[in-house]
Amino acid sequence: MSECRRPGDMEGGMGYAKTALLMAAMTALFMGVGYLLGGSGGALIALVVAAAMNVFTCWNSDRVVLRMHNAEPVLAGDRLGLYQLTAELARAAGLPEPKVYLIDTPQPNAFATGRNPANGAVAVTTGLLRNLTREELAGVIAHELAHIRNHDTAIMTVTATFAGAISMLANFALFFGGSRERLGLVGTLLMMFLAPMAAALVQMAISRTREYAADKAGAEICGHPLRLASALEKIAMGAAQIDNHAAERNPATAHMFIINPLHAHKHDNLFATHPATENRIAALRAMAGASASRGAGVTQSRVPRTGRSDRGSKGPWS
């Protein structure tokens, strides 16, 4: 088996190093806001509160998010073969079989959730099944499995909790005398606006980093980068044209989807939760070209031949 397809293989150390630095920055920002509000005691209290919030959120986030999007479980033996396809790809990724969910919305999209691989879940929309071929769908599911294998679902839950807690602390700033003594009224007001903005920027940077890593690992799991690239192109087009009402009601979950369900971004700007789709597709095409030039086995498909034919430009799932 080629090195690029090892089940335990993840993205390079640079991606993890960047994520670790951004997580450290988020933690430092949180404790800094706590210090400005209440000195060293405030920083300690902020850290304890963050730890408690993270434990609670990580333990319950999967159920909450799936309920927000009215996701229905897909059982083994479903007529479309969706469960079997996901289970086969999970085995290729070296993962336990995740739970599979279907969301009834015409927008093509998908996300993964769960505090760890043993509790992972993959949710896809009915619009995704209608618009993608089987091979493209395998690329999307592999991308979501990569998020689970890389523990991105837990990382993003923690960062979202930190960002929310920092915003909450900053809004309390006017009620704490310590912050006014250290910063003055103008400084306190600036902190109320700048701290949440800084937290959001760090959160979005982490999200973009993890998406690139999941694209790479997902392409390795399914065995064909170009099929994931084709899927991303179709999903981005659909997400820009079709509303996802549940996501609009719960915009804090937008970063979980493979493509932003709320609106499309043309550039990897600071306020984007996802990298530009064009950049992701270019990276996958470069990966396919590099694999072909060195004769690597990454183009061997891992899609099980179950369910209906995958021929045609539309999905065989409707």
Instruction: Read off the tokens for 108.
Output: 């093509």
Which residues, in sequence order, are CB contacts of 112 under 8 Å at separation 6+?
Answer: 98, 120, 121, 122, 123, 144, 145, 147, 148, 152, 153, 256
Q: Give the helix/strand (H/E) hosting 110.
A: strand 110-113
| Catalytic (active site) residue 233 | no
Residue 110's beta-bridge partner residues? 124
Measure the CA–CA gap between 24 and 141, rounded to whole angstroms. Answer: 30
DSSP string, 26-45: HHHHHHHHHHHHHHHHHHHH
- Among 273, 223, 246, which Cα is nearest to 101's? 246
From 11, 136, 144, 220, the catalytic residue: 144
Measure the CA–CA gap between 89 and 109, rounded to whole angstroms. Answer: 18
Cβ 50 vs Cβ 32: under 8 Å: no
Which residues, in sequence order, are CB contacts of 288 under 8 Å at separation 6+?
Answer: 219, 224, 225, 226, 229, 298, 299
Cβ 305 vs Cβ 11: under 8 Å: no
* Residue 297: half-sphere exposure toward Cβ, Cα within 13 Å: 9
Catalytic site positions: 144
